[in-house]
Structure 1
Amino acid sequence: MGILYLLFLATCAISAIVGLLAFYFTRSSKSMPKTFSELKSEIHWQYHGVRGLIEDTILKRNNRVDLFDNEGKVAVITGGNRGIGLRVVEKLLKCDITVIMGVRNPEEAKENVERLVDIDSIKGKIYYEKLDTGSMHSVRKFANVVQSKFPKINILINNAGIMASPFKLTEDGFESQFAVNYLGHFLLTHLLLPQLKAAGTKEFNSRIVNVSSCVHLLGKINFDDIHGKEYYYPPVAYNQSKLAQVIFTRYLQKILNKNEDNNIQIYAVHPGVVDTDLFCHSSTTYIPWFKKLFFKTPEEGSRTVTYAAISPRLEGKGGSYLSNCTLVKISSLAKDLSLGEKFFKFTCSMLDIDDFFRP
C-alpha cells in the first residue's frame, strides 16, 4: 500500500511539473501573468489553443482545397511577405489569378514569392504595393492605388495581423492589435466595396475573407476601453480584435443580403494553429521544436483561407466561419445582431465613415 501511495504521489508530482513547464513555454506572452484575471485569461487562451490543435487533428482530412483555373479574376491580399499569406498568394497564382499584395516590405515580398512560384509560367500578374494596416493613411493610399488599376476585384483577403504584442498606440491613437487586425481591414473593405460589387455575379459572388482565430470565442468588445488605455493584457486585446472580425463578417453579410444586387459573400476563417512569425511575442519561441512538432505548416494553414476565397462549394453560405475547410462553431456574441449593429456603427464613428456603402 505504501509503495502504491508513493507511486501516486510521484505521478502527481511529475504531472504538476509537466503542466507547469507546458504553461511556462506556451504562454501567449513572454511576460508572466501579474494578476489572477491575467492568469485566468492565460489558462483560457491555452485551453483554446489545445482545442484548436485537437480540432486540426480531427478535421485534418477536410483541410484541402482544389485549385482550378480562375484566369481573369483579381485578388487583393493584405500581408503575405511570409507565413500563411505567402502560401495563399502561391495558390492564387497557381489558379492564374492576378494578385495585388499589400505589404510593409514589397521588395521582400517579391523575393519570397519568386522563390515559390515560376512567375513566367502563370497567366495572372502580381503587384507588390506598400501597406500598413495599422495606419489608416496607408490604407487609404493603398486603396487609391488599387482603385486606379482595377475597376473590378473578385477577392479581398484581409490577412495581415499581429498577435499578443506589447501595448502600443498607432499614429491614429488606436491600440495596435485592434488597428492592424480589424480597423485597417474594416476601412479597406469599405473603400474597395465598389470594386467588389462590380465584380460579383449571381453565378460567382465576389469574396471577402477575414482571417480570424479560434480565440475569438474568448473575445469581448470593451466599448468603454476599446484601446486598452485603462487596462491592457496582450491576449485579451488580441481576442477582442479577432472577435471584431467575426462580428463584422456576420453583420456586413446581413446588410448586403438585403439587396439582391450585392453579389458579395463574406467569410471569417480560422487557419489553424500555425507555425509562423505570428508567435514572435509568445514564449513558444523558447522551444521552436514544439511548434514544428505540433503546429500546422504555413502551407496547411493557407488551405482554408484559399478555400474561402475560391471554392464554389461555399456559394450561398456567406457569413460563415470556417476551420479546416469546414463550417464550425462561432461565438454567440457574433450571432447577436443588435451587438453587430452597435459595433458596426461604433467602428464607422471611430473611422469617420458617414456611410459605409458610399466610399
Structure 2
Amino acid sequence: MRGHLLQAGVKYCSARRILTKASAMEGKKVLITGATDGIGKHTAARLAKLGATVLLHGRNQHKADEAAKEIQKKIGGQGHVHAYAADMAVLGQVRELASRVQKDHPSIDILINNAGVFPERKILTEDGFEQTWAVNVLAPFLLTSLLVKSVKERIINVSSISASSRIDFDNLNQEKGFSAHNAYSLSKLAMMMFNTELATRLSPPPTANCLDPGTVNTKMLLQGWGPCGIDIEDANHELYLATSPDVANTTGQYFVSDRPRRMPSIVQDISARQRLWNILEEQSGETFPE
C-alpha cells in the first residue's frame, strides 16, 4: 500500500513542473547534507545537472570527495560540485561545517537538510544525545540556525510518513528504553514541528517546507523495513521542492508525493512547538537569530 502510494506520487510528480533545462539552476547554490549516497546523492546529481553549484556534504571527507568527483564527471561542465565533510552527530563539527560554507559561499540559495540515520541500537554521541535525535533533529536545527541569514530562497527539511503522531518530552533521548523505530518516528515528527515553527518565524524568503522523500530503496529503508520502495533514480520529491516554481512562495507545508498533506494535530499545537524549539536551542547551544 505504502509503496503503491508513493509510486503513484512519482507519476504525479512527472506531470508537475520540475525544471529540466540544463541551465535552469545556473547561478544557484545548494547545500545538501547526507549526499554521498541514496536520495541525497541522487538529488545532488540532478541539481548539478541543471547547472547549480552543489555543496555536497558527507560524514567522511574521502567519501564526499569521491561522490563529488563522480557527479562532476557524469554532468561534465553543466554545474559545479564541492565536497564538505562533518559528522552530524557531533555539534562541534556541525558548527565547523556552517563556518566553512559561510567562508566559501557567503550566501546560498537553497538548504536541504537531508542527512539522517536509523541506528538499530542506542548510541550516545559525544555530546550525550541519542544518535537518531542528534543527527535527524539537532544537527539540522543547529545548521539551519547558523545559516538561515545566508539562505536566500528555500529551506527544505526531510520528515517522513513514518513520523509519530505524539511527542513525549520526557523521552526525547530514549530515556524510557530504546526502540529504533520509535526513535526514528519521533525524530521525523520533531522535524515537522521544527519546520512549522521555523516558517512562522521567517518572513519569506526563504521559505521553509518539509516532506516525505518517498518510500525509496535506500540503505536506511532496507535496514529498517526491507525492500518495499521505489528505485532511487525515481526519487525526485526533494528535487521538486528545491526547483519547482509551483512552490516558490509556499511555506510551512508538509509534502507527500509533491502535494501538501495534513500533519499530526500536535504539530498545530503552538505551545508544544515552542516547547520543542526551546529544548532544541538549549540542547544545541544556539539561539536562532530574530
- The aligned counterpart of 1:213 is 160
Residue of structure 2 aligned with 1:352, choices 282, 285, 290: 285
Deviation larger for 133-142 or 161-170: 161-170
Deviation, 1:99, is 0.9
Deviation, 1:322, is 1.0
Superposition map of 1:27-46 within 5 A: none
Deviation, 1:58, is 3.5
Instruction: Confirm whether residue 296 of structure 1 aligns to residue 238 of structure 2.
Output: no
Which string of whole-angstrom CA distances, capped at 9 and with x for unpartnered residues, describes residues 58-106 of structure 1? 3332123333411111110111111101100111101111111121123
CA distance in 2, matches of 1:348, 1:326: 30
- The aligned counterpart of 2:180 is 234
- The aligned counterpart of 2:20 is 67
> Are residues 175 and 123 of structure 1, via their aligned partners in 2, closer, same or farther at CA, if it must alter by over 3 Å?
same
Residue of structure 1 aligned with 2:35, choices 77, 80, 83: 80
Q: Give the match's secondary structure for 1:101.
A: strand
Residue of structure 1 aligned with 2:117, choices 136, 145, 162: 162
Deviation larger for 124-133 or 72-81: 124-133
Residue of structure 2 aligned with 1:322, choices 238, 255, 260: 255
- The aligned counterpart of 1:248 is 194
CA distance in 2, matches of 1:281, 1:333: 28
CA distance in 2, matches of 1:283, 1:298: 16
- The aligned counterpart of 1:265 is 207
Deviation, 1:164, is 5.0
> Are residues 151 and 112 of structure 1, via their aligned partners in 2, closer, same or farther at CA, if it must alter by over 3 Å?
closer
Instruction: Confirm whether residue 142 of structure 1 aligns to residue 108 of structure 2.
Output: no
Confirm or deny: 8 A CA contact 2:87 2:93 kept in the other structure: yes
Which string of whole-angstrom CA distances, capped at 9 and with x for unpartnered residues, describes residues 141-189 of structure 1? 1111001011111000100111253111111001100111110010000
> What root-mean-square deviation, in Å, do the aligned CA atoms of Structure 1 and Structure 2 show?
1.8
> Are residues 338 and 115 of structure 1, via their aligned partners in 2, closer, same or farther at CA, if it must alter by over 3 Å?
same
Deviation, 1:123, is 4.2
**TM-score normalized by structure 1?**
0.75
Q: Aligned AA for 1:193?
A: V
Residue of structure 1 aligned with 2:171, choices 225, 240, 245: 225
Instruction: Point out the structure with the larger helix share.
Output: 1
**Unaligned stretches of 5+ residues in structure 2:** none
Deviation, 1:120, is 6.9
- The aligned counterpart of 1:174 is 129
CA distance in 1, matches of 2:85, 2:102: 14
Q: Aligned AA for 1:220?
A: R
Q: Give the match's secondary structure for 1:154.
A: strand
Confirm or deny: 8 A CA contact 1:219 1:242 kept in the other structure: no
Instruction: Confirm whether residue 107 of structure 1 aligns to residue 62 of structure 2.
Output: yes
Confirm or deny: 8 A CA contact 2:64 2:84 kept in the other structure: no
Q: Give the match's secondary structure for 1:118.
A: helix
Deviation, 1:253, is 0.3
Residue of structure 1 aligned with 2:275, choices 331, 335, 342: 342
Deviation, 1:279, is 3.1
CA distance in 1, matches of 2:154, 2:76: 26
Deviation, 1:119, is 5.8
- The aligned counterpart of 1:40 is none
CA distance in 2, matches of 1:343, 1:111: 37
Deviation, 1:113, is 4.4
Q: Percent identity?
A: 29
Q: Aligned AA for 1:357?
A: P
Deviation larger for 118-127 or 338-347: 118-127
Q: Give the match's secondary structure for 1:214.
A: coil
**TM-score normalized by structure 2?**
0.92
Q: Aligned AA for 1:185?
A: P
CA distance in 2, matches of 1:158, 1:66: 21
Confirm or deny: 8 A CA contact 1:62 1:326 kept in the other structure: no
Superposition map of 1:84-99 within 5 A: 84-99=39-54
Deviation, 1:321, is 1.0
Which string of whole-angstrom CA distances, capped at 9 and with x for unpartnered residues, describes residues 20-61 of structure 1? xxxxxxxxxxxxxxxxxxxxxxxxxxxxxx4x3232133332
> Are residues 337 and 283 of structure 1, via their aligned partners in 2, closer, same or farther at CA, if it must alter by over 3 Å?
closer
Which string of whole-angstrom CA distances, capped at 9 and with x for unpartnered residues, describes residues 291-335 of structure 1? 2xx41111222x110111111110221111112222223222212
CA distance in 1, matches of 2:20, 2:273: 34
Q: Aligned AA for 1:239?
A: S
Instruction: Name which one, 1 or 2, has greater alpha-carbon Rg.
Output: 1
Q: Aligned AA for 1:108?
A: K
Q: Aligned AA for 1:296?
A: I
Confirm or deny: 8 A CA contact 1:82 1:109 kept in the other structure: no
